[in-house]
Each structure stands twice: as C-alpha cells, then as structure tokens.
Amino acid sequence: AQKITQTQPGMFVQEKEAVTLDCTYDTSDPSYGLFWYKQPSSGEMIFLIYQGSYDQQNATEGRYSLNFQKARKSANLVISASQLGDSAMYFCASGGGATNKLIFGTGTLLAVQP
Amino acid sequence: KAGVTQTPRYLIKTRGQQVTLSCSPISGHRSVSWYQQTPGQGLQFLFEYFSETQRNKGNFPGRFSGRQFSNSRSEMNVSTLELGDSALYLCASSFGTSGQYNEQFFGPGTRLTVL
C-alpha cells in the first residue's frame, strides 16, 4: 500500500524567502509519480508540480521545484521567493500503476507573512 | 478551455436522505475520479470512472456509488446519509491514459453538510 507522510502541520515564512515543505513516501510500485497540490481556503485543488519515479532531473515549474531523493523516498517541495498569495494548504500525493488513484498526505498549512 | 465544473457547490441534507453530485470534466478527458475531504480523515479516494466503467474503487461503503455517462460527465450518489458524510467532495478529470501518468485537474468541489 502507498503512504504519504507530511510531518509539518503548519509553517510560517517571510515574504520573498524560500521555503521547503517536506514529503516522504512509501510505495511498493516500481513505477510511480509524485504530485504537489495547493489548496487555498476556497477549496479547489491546484496542481503545482509532478515528478516521475524514473525522471533523472528534479522537476521545476516557475517558483516551484521538487527536491526528489529516491533513495530517501522524499519529494520535498521548494517554493522560492514566497508571495502572500502562496498562503494555503499544500498536499503531497502519489499515484501509480494504471489508475489515476492518488494517495494524499495530511497536508502542510503555509502562512506567508509580510 | 473550460475547467472542471461541479454542481451544486453547496448542499445541506438531513440524515437518511440521499444526494447526487455532478461533475463535468474538461473536454476530451475520459477519466473522472472522486475524492472525499474531511478534517478527520483528510483526502480519500472514492472511485474512478473511465469510459463509463468504474476502473478503481476506494474503501467506502456501498452507500457511495457513481456512474459516468457517454459524454464523460459523472455523478456520485450517497444514500442514507450519515452525519459523517459531511465533507468536501472533489472530482478530478484527466485523459486517463493507461500506463502513464495523467495530470489531474480538480473541480471546485461540492460542500455537503448533513444535519
């Protein structure tokens, strides 16, 4: 069974600083994907970044990058130059195989302070 | 390109009633997945439909069911509502291509309150 662990229930960061949100995963699938989603208070889930288990390079999308360490089974999200609009809940998720089933972690609530 | 739409956005029901939620995926997407989000259990996978067939199912009682139509729109139904069914129900759509990863796009959710 797959499991996602996010050990930081909440975090504060100053505007314009970088922040790292932790995520570790446990899966028996030989091929899998790791996802990060942002959920503002309005409720919708916004896709941020994806890393495939066979990808050689860490994924980057604008201010978001994924620090993928396969041996340590970690997939941390790095947000550079934090903005006030980054304040939200962040979820790490894994998916694998032939289905679209995503397993989510418990999330990290990020608060960006001016 | 229109995003994923869910209706209704808010719903209040009483225990014992049943409810039907609707999800219209992005045009061209054939896979629709449903998730339940509660403060206690977090985000949990309910089921996925692809080309009108249930392709995967989570660990929920039979009171939770779904279906998908030929235009890929999906509905989920919860019968005999319980207080614990109060949650945000999210649907996600994707191309659903088997054997490779598909970016999933989520709708705004339906917030169900059971009184």
pLDDT of residue B41 exceeding 70: yes
Burial (0-12, 13-18, 19+ Cβ within 10 Å), A8: middle
Q: Chain A: which residues have CB within 8 Å of chain B?
A: 33, 35, 37, 42-47, 50, 52, 91, 93, 95, 98-107
pLDDT value, residue B1: 62
* Pairs of residues, one from chain A and one from chain B, whose beta carbons lie less than 8 Å apart: 62
Closest B-chain CA to A50: B103
Average pLDDT of the residues in B55-84 = 96
pLDDT tens for each residue of A61-87? 999 999 999 999 999 999 999 999 999
> C-alpha angle B76/B39/A14, rounded to 5°?
120
The Cα-based distances of A4 to A51, A100, A101, A102 in angstroms read 14, 16, 13, 10
For B99, the 3-state DSSP assignment is coil
Token output for B81 = 């509502």
Report the alpha-carbon distance of residue A18 to residue A32 in Å, rounded: 27
Average pLDDT of the residues in A43-64 = 91
Q: Enumerate the β-bridge partners of residue B56.
A: B48
Contact call for residues A73 and A24 (beta carbons, < 8 A): yes
A100 with B56: Cβ contact below 8 A: yes
The percent of residues above 90 in pLDDT, for chain A, comes to 78
Helix, strand, coil abundance in chain A, percent, nearest 5:
5, 55, 45
| Chain B CB contacts of A102 below 8 Å | 33, 35, 43, 45, 92, 104
pLDDT of residue A98 exceeding 90: no
| Chain B CB contacts of A42 below 8 Å | 108
| Chain B CB contacts of A99 below 8 Å | 48, 55-56
B45 with A101: Cβ contact below 8 A: yes
pLDDT of residue B96 exceeding 80: no
Radius of gyration of chain A (CA): 14
pLDDT of residue A97 exceeding 90: no
Token output for A4 = 């996602």
A104 vs B43, B48, B88: nearest CB:
B43
B33 with A102: Cβ contact below 8 A: yes
| Chain A CB contacts of B55 below 8 Å | 98-100
